[in-house]
Amino acid sequence: QQPVQSPQAVILREGEDAVINCSSSKALYSVHWYRQKHGEAPVFLMILLKGGEQKGHEKISASFNEKKQQSSLYLTASQLSYSGTYFCGTEIHPGTYKYIFGTGTRLKVLA
Amino acid sequence: SQTIHQWPATLVQPVGSPLSLECTVEGTSNPNLYWYRQAAGRGLQLLFYSVGIGQISSEVPQNLSASRPQDRQFILSSKKLLLSDSGFYLCAWSAPRGKNTEAFFGQGTRLTVV
C-alpha cells in the first residue's frame, strides 16, 4: 500500500540535476512532497492535486501523472541545502484522511 | 498562525516501562491528527490517525495506543515498552474536513528503549 520511491539513494555534485519518482499500486488522488533533514521533522515542499499538474518551488518542481499513478520530483542545479530524505505523501482515499508516505529517497549533494 | 508542540524531544526508557508522548496543536480547530514512527534510516510508518475527539484509527496492531481527549491534543501511549519500539516519533496535523492541505509536523521525539 505504501508508495515506492526510486532511487532509494542518490549522490550528486553541486549543480547537478536529479529526479525522484514515486509510484503507487493504487490510485493517487493527490501527491505531497516533503524533505527531511537528518534528525528533524519533514518539511512540506509542494502539493499536486490534479493529474498532469506540475508545480515549482525555487529550483524544485514536480509532476503528477494520475493515469500512471506516479509523481516525479525534479531538482535542478542542486545545492548543498538540498541534501536530505525526500518523501512523497498521499491520502489513501479522498476523505478518509489516512495519510501515508512513500519509502523515501536519500539525497546527498557534495561540494 | 498554527503551531504544533510535541514533547519530550528525547526519551530513554527501560524495556517494560510505560510511555506517554503528548502533542498539542494551536491556532486551528478540529484538525486531523497523526502519529508516525520512523526507525533509523527508514521511512515514515503511520501508527494512528484521528479526525475528531475520541475517533482513533489504528494502523499498527502493537502494544501502542492513542487517545484524543481534547480537540487539539493527541497522546501516544504504551503500557509496556519493547526494544522494537525505539525510533523517532512524529506527531502531525492537517486541515479539517473538506480541505486538502499538507501535513505539518512536530519536532519529534527520539525514543530509545534500553
DSSP-derived secondary structure letter, B84: G
- Give residue A96's pLDDT: 78
% of chain B at pLDDT higher than 70: 96
Spatial separation of the C-alpha atoms in residues B103 and B57, rounded to whole Å: 17
Residue A99 has pLDDT above 80, yes or no: yes
* Closest CB to B44 among A47, A87, A95: A87
- pLDDT digit string, tens, across residues B29-41: 899 999 999 988 7
CB-based contacts of B27, cutoff 8 Å, min separation 6: B1, B2, B3
DSSP-derived secondary structure letter, A80: G
Nearest to A104 by CA among A16, A55, A38, A27: A38
- What's the grid cell of residue A85? 530524505
- pLDDT digit string, tens, across residues B22-68: 999 999 889 999 999 998 878 899 999 999 998 999 888 678 999 99
Q: Which residues from A are below 8 Å from B102, CB to CB?
A: 32, 34, 44, 47, 89
Total number of residues shown for chain A: 111
